[in-house]
Amino acid sequence: MEENNTTTTTIILAALSTLTPPQISTLTTTISTLFHFHRSRLAALLSSHTIFSLSLHHLHTLSLHQKSLLIARHLLSILSQLSHILRPTTTRMPPYINDRDLDSVLLLLLLCELNQHDPESLKSLSPTDWRDSLCEYVSATMLTLTGIGFSTSEILMKYIEVMAKCKRFVDVMGCRDGKERKEVAASVAAVVALPSVEVKQGGKECVVCKDEMKQGRDVCELPCEHRFHWMCILPWVVKRNTCPCCRHRLPTDDVYGEIDRQWEVLVKIGGSYF
């Protein structure tokens, strides 16, 4: 577990170190706006008995799988900020998380954090009294709930910390470590955006049907530059988002699949630093 966390941090750091100064500045601006928004939601949640109860109630109605999915969506929204800067053309921003879900996921992460920090503090209390403990914890650890004026490195450290934490939860709650990844379809938007190219020179085979891609014919080119007959690749990408030749991944609407894909990109980009 510790080791996983260190690897996660190293991968993000390695990917961050490839950014140019203007990219770093774009990223920190985006993240600090995002975190500022999260902090103000959390502050409102903790200061209002009603919002707190509603969010807690919402959390109670969610199954473990739904909680895991919520954290995964939150992680993806944070991860995509970096992926989008590294690969603007292939990263679509994930759908907006509505306020109720955002409040619930922020509360869930905070509860997990407090529970990890002091496992006894919540056990002895009824859930309605959790708010006081959380307020105390927050005021002791995050002095600046509404804080602005963080330095670039503080923002980036916070970014790495939040991302590593979410990744750990997603891995643990989804029990996905060591498990075979299930196949997911490529997103419709990604498939629609695939370019059609004319075969200038015949003789090459399409690995799906083993037939030649004849000169003058329009075929499909994936971002990895592997080409296939349209009639061969379309049925393929509605089942899986990987290239039949090199397993390059296309974007997917599956939250876990998309986290895996963006994570793989980060590992590749930061790879030269390992």
Q: How many residues bind Zn ion (CB under 5 A)?
A: 11
CA dihedral 63, 64, 69, 75 (to 10 degrees): 140
Binding mask 203-242 for Zn ion (x = CB under 5 A): ---x-xx--------------x-x--x--x----------
Shortest distance (Å) from residue 55 CB to Zn ion: 44
Binding mask 149-188 for Zn ion (x = CB under 5 A): ----------------------------------------
Shortest distance (Å) from residue 198 CB to Zn ion: 16
Q: State which of residues 248, 253, 260, 267 lies at the interface with Zn ion (CB under 5 A).
A: 248
Q: Which is nearer to Zn ion, 95 or 195 (CB)?
A: 195
Q: State which of residues 12, 45, 237, 243 lies at the interface with Zn ion (CB under 5 A).
A: 243
Q: State which of residues 62, 193, 245, 267 lies at the interface with Zn ion (CB under 5 A).
A: 245
Q: Which is nearer to Zn ion, 56 or 185 (CB)?
A: 185
Residue numbers of the site for Zn ion (CB under 5 A)? 206, 208-209, 224, 226, 229, 232, 243, 245-246, 248
